[in-house]
Chain A
Amino acid sequence: MTPLSQLLPGQFGKLASLNPERGVDQRLMALGLLPGMALKLIRKAPLGDPLAIEFGGQVVSLRLAEAENLIVDVSADCPIQRPRQP
């Protein structure tokens, strides 16, 4: 179990838990980031903050401080699906 803010670029996992009381997490839930969802840390911005994460076929940016409450299970076997390759 790792906070999303500590993931390395390229690392992925499944969302284990978030804090639904927080505005950021509510926004992410509306975008479909719910517990059990596979996600991948794509990159960090050049200055190290914010982060770009991929889940459910979309890329979303959020700040490092806002990513602390998102707990990711990196041991789960859930590569982000990269379908539709020729």
Chain B
Amino acid sequence: MSTPDAGLLVALVGNPNTGKSTLFNALTGLRQRVGNYPGVTVARKSGTCDLGDGQKVELVDLPGLYSLAAASPDEQVVIDALAGNIAGDRRPDAVVLVADATNLLRNLFLASQVAELGRPVVLVLNQADVAKEQGLRIDAELLSRRLGGVPVVLTSAWKGEGIADVRRAIARVLAQRTPMKRVAWPANIAAALADVAVTAAADTGKEVAAADAQRLLFDGNATTADRIGWTLAQREKTLRSARDRVRNSGYNPMAAEPLVHYAHLRVALEGVVTEGMGKAGRTAAVDGLLLHRILGPILFAGIMLGLFASVFWLAKFPMEWIQSGVDAFKGVVAPPLDAYPMLQSLLTDGIIGGVGAFLAFLPQILILFLFVGILEDSGYMARAAFIMDRLFSWCGLNGKSFVPMLSGFACAIPGLLSTRTIEDPKARLATAFVVPFMSCSARFPIYALMCAAFIGPLYGPGWESVVMVGMHCVGLFFAVPTAFVLTRFVLKVKPQPFVLELPRYQMPKPRDVLWRMWQNAAEFVSKAGTVIFAITIIVWALSYFPRDAAVADRIKAANPAASEEVVKAKVQAAYVEQSYMGRFGKAVQPVFDPLGFDWKITVGVLASFPAREVIVSTLGVTYSVGEGAKADSQHLRQAMQDAKWSEGPRAGRPIFSLAAVLALMVFFALCSQCGPTIATLAQETGGWKWAAGSFFYMTALAWVVSTLVYQVVIRLL
């Protein structure tokens, strides 16, 4: 995202779990913009920060990371952003390094790496209140002197303490441009680095900074080399001899960077932290309970059940309010337009219906993100991943795949959005790919209709429940092997080792949680919303046009004795039958014939691609019982039970045989029938490639499995 204003840019960098985002919110006061870095699905969060003296700078909150050794897309973004290598983005004029005051040594490793970039630095030691409670006394002035005079500020961002000091410190380093003291590399490593820098610069004709040379020498991956265009043939010999040189000085080249930095930091921290009397904190005791071999999983199940119940049930009420609000709005808008039926239908069924369709997802998204935010900020999310990892690791996912997949049983959209909590890009992509397989609440109406109309009456309520539960498992049954094949054979992304910090438990800050919840919802509405809206309008148009008034007249003439209601339903059915959608449905019915679908079901299936829950009302229209049909509609059940094949080899036999009923339900369990999901998948995977892949894979899978179900069951019975 380009930033047109030429003002100063300050980057916020730090380890995860340091309270960096809380500090960011405190410094910018929610005057924030969220965008995306080009080409990757990493959010670029920035805001305006007032430095206290009227000077304003742009503050950008970079993703949390432990090391500049780029392994994941998030980490690569930080490196590129700090070095100013991102198209359309400026190089930061200063860097604010956020460190956890209770674990300075580990946190300063990243700081020490960033110091190599030579930018002006402010070091913020956050969570100073917790450090104090633990009895740690930190001599900020001494640390500042040791690090070359960069300002060292103690803060407690949660409580809002020390924020003004940070503002002043930023203003100071921007004016004085104080860099942080850099590590003294042992002579042989320094020579190897210099050699790499000189040769790379000569080979590529580009300037190679000291920090670039370190990435080239110390990292096994080729991202930096690729960026500056240093080919494998060019670099191979230079890097090998440079690494040999490092090895000869007694360092493994892959370990030299942390070894040298940590040795440097141990010296710098000498006498900075003194341990006094204090409380050890309750994290270990709480973990003893929450990670207990028996109690841990029980409590986990309880928490996740609570989360699922909230997304599923709590969201029902606001969703119903939105639905009745939309209906009421239609009721107000429609009557004045009675004279213009096309405009009336476009406005009510197309536009208002389309907006309502994606607004209905908002309550679930908001509630899920409220809970995910609390779980993340409290530190429990890492524990949940710890408990669940074993169940997911064998098929290439990890413990963090659980929450998105569970959410998928309520709705795939919030599930997809919550895959952002998975750091490993491979597991993230695979999880996003299988989330739409989970049996979401929009699949419920068709299961309910089919079970109530056919399974229940024919085989009793016992089988009805079995089929209901079975249908909820079909997606999961296919999702697991899909993930396995995807991570094993298809995805070429290198998996990340599952090294996960179990951070200290913390009380989530309500403002941070609510703010993130809001940002996620706003992003969904602005991005996926437009796509959903467009799809709805297109499907509306396809099932509305052409609309020849003669069709209505013919129906009215043919049914002179029928009541107005019956005629209206028949007219509607006739219109749909001759609409583009109806004609298309009849044309492609042979494709669905192996599944036992007649043209009416086919039209219903086709019309359900933007949103699968419309199948019930579409069947209501095509079976001439009116569009208000619900899953519990007696008329619709009767009409479907009475429906018979009118021609072909099955003429006279019921359309909804057990085989067709099961095939239809399985089809809806597996088929990719949700415009919002596809739009969100594209948004979350950074392009339409995976969204299209998901669409075709799920739809093809649904067709194949449903065909098998129909053909097998029809032969058995």
Contact = CB atoms under 8 A, between A and B. Distances in A.
Interface of A: 20-24, 26-32, 34, 42-43, 45-50, 52, 56-63, 66, 82-86
Contacts of B389: 45, 49-50, 61, 63
Contact of A48 (B276, B294, B390): B390
Contact of B106 (A22, A24, A56): A56
Contact of B275 (A42, A50, A63, A84): A84
Contacts of B292: 46
Given A26-B220, A45-B386, 17 more contacts: A20-B252, A21-B220, A27-B71, A27-B497, A29-B259, A31-B106, A31-B109, A42-B287, A45-B291, A46-B293, A46-B297, A52-B287, A56-B105, A58-B103, A59-B283, A61-B385, A84-B275
Nearest to B256: A20
A63 B393 contact: yes
A76 B368 CA distance: 48
Contact of B258 (A29, A61, A85, A86): A29
B391 interface: yes
A34 B391 contact: no
B255 A20 contact: yes
B543 interface: no
Given A57-B103, A86-B278, A45 B387 contact: yes
20 contacts: A20-B254, A23-B71, A23-B220, A26-B71, A27-B497, A30-B66, A30-B69, A32-B258, A34-B259, A43-B291, A49-B389, A49-B390, A50-B390, A57-B102, A57-B105, A63-B498, A66-B497, A84-B135, A84-B276, A84-B280
Interface string B492-503: 001011111110
A50 B497 contact: no
B279 interface: yes
Nearest to A23: B497
A82 B500 contact: no
Contacts of A21: 220, 254
Nearest to B502: A59
Contacts of B387: 45-47
B105 A32 contact: yes
B686 interface: no
B275 A30 contact: no
Given A23-B71, A84-B279, A86-B279, A60 B255 contact: no
Contacts of B71: 23, 26-27
Across the A-B interface, the 5 shortest Cβ-Cβ residue pairs: A30-B67, A24-B497, A20-B254, A47-B390, A20-B255
A48 B297 CA distance: 12
Given A24-B497, A45-B387, A47-B391, A32 B106 contact: yes
Nearest to A30: B67
Contacts of A27: 66-67, 71, 497, 499
- Of B102, B106, B134, chain A has the most CB atoms within 10 Å of the CB of B106
B297 A62 contact: no
B508 interface: no
- Of B105, B136, B294, B389, chain A has the most CB atoms within 10 Å of the CB of B389
A28 B66 CA distance: 10
Contacts of A52: 287, 291, 386, 502
B262 interface: yes
B277 interface: yes
A82 to B, nearest CB: 7
Interface string B273-304: 00111111001000100011110110000000
A47 B382 CA distance: 16
A42 B296 CA distance: 15
Contact of B502 (A22, A46, A60): A60
Contact of B382 (A34, A49, A61): A61
Size bin of chain B's contact surface: 35 or more
Given A49-B390, A83-B275, A32 B109 contact: yes
Contact of A32 (B134, B262, B385, B393): B262
B291 to A, nearest CB: 6
Contact of B498 (A29, A56, A57, A61): A61
A40 to B, nearest CB: 11
B255 A29 contact: yes
B109 A58 contact: no
A66 B498 contact: yes
- Of A21, A27, A52, A84, chain B has the most CB atoms within 10 Å of the CB of A84
A39 B678 CA distance: 46
A84 B136 contact: yes
A30 B258 contact: yes
B490 to A, nearest CB: 21
A84 B502 contact: no
A38 B474 CA distance: 48
B255 to A, nearest CB: 4
A86 B66 contact: no
Given A45-B389, A58-B501, A61-B382, A84 B278 contact: yes
A46 B294 CA distance: 7
A57 to B, nearest CB: 5
Nearest to A28: B499
B251 to A, nearest CB: 9
B254 A23 contact: no
B258 to A, nearest CB: 4
Interface in B491-538: 494, 496-502
B340 to A, nearest CB: 63
A9 B123 CA distance: 37
Contact of A60 (B105, B134, B259, B499): B499
Nearest to B496: A23
Contacts of A62: 497-500
A47 B394 CA distance: 13
A79 to B, nearest CB: 15
B390 A24 contact: no
A61 B106 CA distance: 16
A30 B291 CA distance: 26
Interface string B66-90: 1101010000000000000000000
Contacts of B279: 84, 86
A85 B109 contact: no
A43 B294 CA distance: 13
Contacts of B259: 29, 34
Contact of B500 (A26, A32, A60): A60
Contacts of A48: 390
Interface string B125-148: 000000000111000000000000
B109 A30 contact: yes
Contacts of B258: 29-30, 32, 34
A61 B386 contact: yes
Given A24-B497, A84-B134, A84-B277, A34 B254 contact: no
A20 B219 CA distance: 11
A29 B291 CA distance: 25
Contacts of B283: 59
Contacts of B220: 21, 23, 26
Contacts of A28: 499
A77 B168 CA distance: 47
Contact of B393 (A26, A30, A49, A60): A49
Contacts of B277: 84, 86
Interface in B368-419: 382, 385-387, 389-391, 393
